Amino acid sequence: MKVGEKSKPIEILLVEDSAGDVRLVKEALKENKFLNNLYVARDGVEAMKFLHQEGEYADAVRPDLILLDLNLPKKDGREVLAEVKGDEDLKRIPVVIMTVSEAEEDILKTYNLHANCYITKPIDLDQFIKVVKSVEGFWLTIVKLPPR
Amino acid sequence: MNNDTRTKQELIRELVSQEKRIAELERSEAQLKRAEEQLRAASRYSRNLIEASLDSLVTISSTGKITDVNTATEKVTGVPRNKLIGSDFSSYFTEPENARAGYQQVFMQEHVTDYPLSIRHTSGAITEVLYNASVYRNEKGEVLGVFGAARDITERKRAEEEIKTKNEELAAASEELVAANEEFEAANEELITINQELQRTEEALRAASSYSRNLIEVSLDSLVTISSTGKITDVNTATEKVTGVPRNKLIGSDFSSYFTEPENARAGYQQVFMQEHVTDYPLSIRHTSGAITEVLYNASVYRNEKGEVLGVFGAARDITARKRAEEALKKTLADLERSNKELEQFAYVASHDLREPLRMVASFTQLLAKRYQDKLDADANEFISYAVDGANRMQKMVNDLLSYSRVGVRGKPFEPTDCTGILNQTLTDLKVAIDENEAIITHDALPVVMGDELQLVQLFQNLIENGIKFRSKEAPRIHISAQENGNEWIFTVQDNGIGIDPQYNERIFIIFQRLHGRENYPGTGIGLAICKKIVERHGGRVWVDSQPGNGSTFYFTIPKTGGLKP
């Protein structure tokens, strides 16, 4: 299933307020051989603007995958998730929750809001890199994504 | 004839005067007898009150010898009156030192209140009591000794106290009097002798009566007798003090009117008649100044010689100070609990939120190591390796601190939990360590207890893991068992490991305390601290018994409350 569209990069929107985490995700993705374009939104409001192609994001691409942190300034990850999954057009985009929270209520709530999967950020660097790599690998090589 | 007549007349005169003397003596005897009766009644009354007291009463001489006791004291010690009197008072307490200290205190301060002691019965049974004691004096005001009243505060069980109606000494004296009376008509001389005897008896009775009365008056407890119609018939000084009403006003008035809740007082009074006595009946006395004194009443019926109930004798102990102390203690405990909760919450939040910045420090030092190790000089490599090591260690500690604070913050409600199931779960979780160390783990039947399943697994796991981790050269052998001990289960986890120096018995349960270098035994030193927290959350205790080189036995208790047998 390694498609001929390998040349066509995958578009990823990372919604994350921590610069350190953004860098770690970038570093992890760098180690993967897949082509990708990573866009970063630093809060929930910015993320929604990007997805709705508003303002400075008028030319933004539609992402193939959203990596979403839960604790965000202005509009938190749960709200972003609810809006994406409540939007007829956006709801097909897979949303991967990446958070430090291990709380059962967070896990339950986000799945109830139709999150596609929930991942707790590993504390160890190697584990973190491994998880980001396997998330990308899974959505790129195993999953058939809906057409853009 | 004349002589005869004269002699006769003289004889008649003599006879008349003799008769007069007899009549006088008879009159004087009758008077003395009446006085004696009155005194005897008064003495009997006071003595009856003392004997009717449910509190153990005792008088002690200035040399520490018991001089008098009441029935309650015989009962609580199991020692008869004749053995008690003349013996050292302190020998009946579990802590004679304390008893002697209290006794000294009475002399120094005139009285002590609520002095706690434990009396040992000859059967070995212990009765915890609170003493109110004061000095008592003769008529000249000289201190004769100490009068103490002990209230049973442990078992507030029925005191099947029978009121003693006869004073044996008085009865004996009375018999002597009866015998003397029979001999009365035989000789005038004997009348005089009897008169003297009567006088002596009267003095003895007067002394006995004033002695008993003194005891009643020096009592720090408010004492009262109430007639069958509810009128106060007698009070002591303490009752005047607590009500603020003088004796002459108190006597004859309705007893219930001095309480904040007269209804309750009357209910208690009725209860005495129905059950012969009440113990620790709580009431509040209102002083004329408005001040309230909270008291506990011990009360019983008292009878005349024929056994007819005359009324109620009540002794009230002021518990205001005790209650205030209890409330202060309760408040302190509540404050402590709150501050503990806050601290727990703080530790939880802090360790939870610290993980984020720490993850950054650890991740980027690791990344630094990964990318630049061997590209810089030897110093840089060393610095990086210390930074990575420190960050890793701190991560472990923050995580452990989080687990520790979770015990209190994130605990689940208790449910019946089968400890055999818990142990099996634990052994499954520890399979790798058990196999690697060829450990042999055995156990007896384990009970079902009320507990938090996840935490109990963690508890067993930490203790068994320790047994394996701190192993000796021999293969680890660990045995788990549980014994019933009253209202709790005592669990033991016994190993054949390296053991612990007893001087560290307490320290090992403190968070992040380690006895060994990290190189030999890894870990942050959280395991036993978590065990302690889990056990304490379950209402139990944990301790260790160990000698270096002889293995360790860890004990912990879980209260039975609702738990089931194995």
Query: Based on the structure, what is the number of domains in chain A?
Result: 1
Is the confidence at residue B425, as pLDDT, over 50? Answer: yes
Is B403 part of the contact surface with chain A (CB cutoff 8 Å)?
Answer: no
Substitution target from B359, B392, B412 for chain A, most A beta carbons within 10 A: B359
Average confidence score pLDDT of chain B: 82
What pLDDT is attached to residue B27?
A: 77
Structure tokens at A8: 């066509």
Confidence label for B413 from pLDDT (cuts 50, 70 and 90) = confident
The verdict on residue A147 lying in a domain is no
**Which chain A residues contact residue B359 at CB under 8 A?**
100, 121, 123
The verdict on residue A124 lying in a domain is yes
Interacting residues of B485 by C-beta distance below 8 A, sequence separation 6+: B557
Encode pLDDT of B227-253 as tens digits.
988 999 999 889 999 999 999 999 999
Interacting residues of B457 by C-beta distance below 8 A, sequence separation 6+: B422, B425, B426, B429
List, in sequence order, every residue forming a beta bridge with B484; answer none if it has no partner: B489
Phi/psi for B233 (5° steps) reads -110, -20
What pLDDT is attached to residue A4?
A: 44
* A:B CB pairs within 8 Å: 27
- With a pLDDT cut of 90, the percent of chain B lying above it is 30
What pLDDT is attached to residue A139?
A: 83
CA dist., res. B202 & res. A135, Å (int): 109
Q: Do B367 and A121 touch (CB under 8 A)?
A: no
Higher pLDDT, B28 or B62: B62
Among the partner-chain residues B359, B360, B367, the one whose CB lies closest to the CB of A27 is: B367
Interacting residues of B181 by C-beta distance below 8 A, sequence separation 6+: B194
Alpha-carbon distances, residue B438 vs B275, B464, B471 (angstroms): 68, 13, 11
Is B210 part of the contact surface with chain A (CB cutoff 8 Å)?
Answer: no
Confidence label for B163 from pLDDT (cuts 50, 70 and 90) = very low
What pLDDT is attached to residue B562?
A: 47
CA dist., res. A119 & res. B419, Å (int): 34
CA dist., res. B249 & res. B288, Å (int): 12
Which of these, B153, B113, B117, B119, lies nearest to B133 by C-alpha position?
B113
Give residue B288's Cα distance to chain centre.
33
Q: Do A123 and B360 touch (CB under 8 A)?
A: no
Q: Do B399 and A27 touch (CB under 8 A)?
A: no
Is B386 part of the contact surface with chain A (CB cutoff 8 Å)?
Answer: no
Mean pLDDT of B263-272: 92
- Cα angle: B417, vertex B422, B425; to 5 degrees: 145
Q: Are strands A95-99 and B232-235 parallel, antiparallel or unpaired?
A: unpaired
CA distance B281 to chain A (A): 52
List, in sequence order, every residue forming a beta bridge with B131; answer none if it has no partner: B115, B150
Q: Do A123 and B366 touch (CB under 8 A)?
A: no
List, in sequence order, every residue forming a beta bridge with B341; answer none if it has no partner: none
CA dist., res. B213 & res. B85, Å (int): 20
What pLDDT is attached to residue B167?
A: 40
Give residue B273's Cα distance to chain centre.
28
Give residue B534's Cα distance to chain centre.
30
CA dist., res. B446 & res. B493, Å (int): 12
The nearest alpha carbon in chain A to B358 belongs to A123
**Is the Cβ–Cβ distance between B495 and B552 less than 8 Å?**
yes
**Which chain B residues contact residue A24 at CB under 8 A?**
363, 367
- Evaluate the CA torsion angle B164, B166, B167, B172 in order and state its sign: negative
**Is the Cβ–Cβ distance between B66 and B320 less than 8 Å?**
no
**Which chain B residues contact residue A132 at CB under 8 A?**
none
Is the confidence at residue B201, as pLDDT, over 60? Answer: yes
CA distance A125 to chain B (A): 5
Q: Tell me what percent of chain A is helix, strand and coil, each rounded to the nearest 5.
A: 45, 15, 35
**Is the Cβ–Cβ distance between B259 and B285 less than 8 Å?**
yes
Among the partner-chain residues A100, A124, A126, the one whose CB lies closest to the CB of B356 is: A100
The whole domain housing A76 covers 9-135
Mean pLDDT of B259-282: 91
Is the confidence at residue A115, as pLDDT, over 90? Answer: yes
Structure tokens at B27: 């009159």
Buried residues in B72-82 as b, exposed as e (16+ CB within 10 A): bbbbbbebeee
Encode pLDDT of B471-491 as tens digits.
888 899 999 999 998 889 999
Which of these, B145, B29, B11, B125, lies nearest to B77 by C-alpha position?
B125
Question: What one-character-per-residue DSSP string does B89-132 give?
Answer: GGGGBS-HHHHHHHHHHHHHHSEEEEEEEEEEPTTS-EEEEEEE
CA dist., res. B461 & res. B429, Å (int): 8
- Residue B435's CB is within 10 A of a number of other CB atoms, namely 9
Q: SS3 string of B139-166?
A: CCCCEEEEEEEEEECCCCCCCCCCCCCC
CA dist., res. B157 & res. B160, Å (int): 9
Q: Do A125 and B395 touch (CB under 8 A)?
A: no
- Residue A19's CB is within 10 A of a number of other CB atoms, namely 11
Burial of residue A41, with CB atoms counted within 10 A of its CB: 0-12 exposed, 13-18 middle, 19 or more buried: buried
Alpha-carbon distances, residue B542 vs B491, B509, B533, B534, B565 (angstroms): 9, 9, 9, 10, 21
What pLDDT is attached to residue B164?
A: 36
The verdict on residue A141 lying in a domain is no
Encode pLDDT of B508-529 as tens digits.
888 777 777 767 777 778 889 9
What pLDDT is attached to residue B154?
A: 66
Rg of chain A over Cα atoms, rounded to whole angstroms, equals: 14
Which of these, B108, B118, B109, B103, lies nearest to B148 by C-alpha position?
B103
- Calculated CA dihedral for residues B278, B281, B285, B291, nearest 10 degrees: 150
**Which chain B residues contact residue A29 at CB under 8 A?**
none
Among the partner-chain residues B364, B367, B395, the one whose CB lies closest to the CB of A123 is: B395
List, in sequence order, every residue forming a beta bridge with B152; answer none if it has no partner: B129
CA distance A59 to chain B (A): 33
**Is the Cβ–Cβ distance between B416 and B450 less than 8 Å?**
yes
Q: For chain B, how many residues are written?
A: 566
**Which chain A residues contact residue B412 at CB under 8 A?**
none
Substitution target from B354, B355, B363 for chain A, most A beta carbons within 10 A: B363
Alpha-carbon distances, residue B144 vs B69, B89, B114, B237 (angstroms): 15, 15, 22, 19
**Which chain A residues contact residue B395 at CB under 8 A?**
123
The verdict on residue A96 lying in a domain is yes
CA dist., res. B222 & res. B296, Å (int): 10
Q: Do B363 and A24 touch (CB under 8 A)?
A: yes
Domains defined for chain B, CATH in brackets: 7-175 (3.30.450.20), 219-318 (3.30.450.20), 334-559 (3.30.565.10)
Give residue B316's Cα distance to chain centre.
18
3-class DSSP state of B279: strand
Structure tokens at B555: 């004990």
Encode pLDDT of B340-373 as tens digits.
777 777 777 777 778 788 888 888 888 888 888 7
Which of these, B501, B508, B516, B492, lies nearest to B546 by C-alpha position?
B501
Encode pLDDT of B70-116 as tens digits.
888 998 999 999 999 999 999 999 999 999 999 988 888 888 888 88
The nearest alpha carbon in chain A to B360 belongs to A20
CA dist., res. B42 & res. B194, Å (int): 22
Q: The CATH number of the domain where A124 resides is what?
A: 3.40.50.2300
Confidence label for B392 from pLDDT (cuts 50, 70 and 90) = confident
Alpha-carbon distances, residue B83 vs A65, B61, B65, B79 (angstroms): 96, 15, 11, 6
**Which chain A residues contact residue B370 at CB under 8 A?**
125
**Which chain A residues contact residue B356 at CB under 8 A?**
18, 100
The verdict on residue A2 lying in a domain is no
Which of these, B403, B474, B397, B461, lies nearest to B432 by C-alpha position?
B461
Q: Which ipTM did the prediction report?
A: 0.74
The verdict on residue A73 lying in a domain is yes
CA distance B563 to chain A (A): 29
The verdict on residue A65 lying in a domain is yes
HSE-up of B201 (CA within 13 Å, CB side)?
Answer: 27
The verdict on residue A1 lying in a domain is no
List, in sequence order, every residue forming a beta bridge with B293; answer none if it has no partner: B285
Give residue A84's Cα distance to chain centre.
12
The nearest alpha carbon in chain B to A101 belongs to B352
Which of these, B126, B120, B131, lies nearest to B60 by C-alpha position?
B131
Q: Do A123 and B359 touch (CB under 8 A)?
A: yes
Buried residues in B250-278 as b, exposed as e (16+ CB within 10 A): beeeebbebbeeeeebeebbeebeeebbb
Q: Do A128 and B363 touch (CB under 8 A)?
A: yes
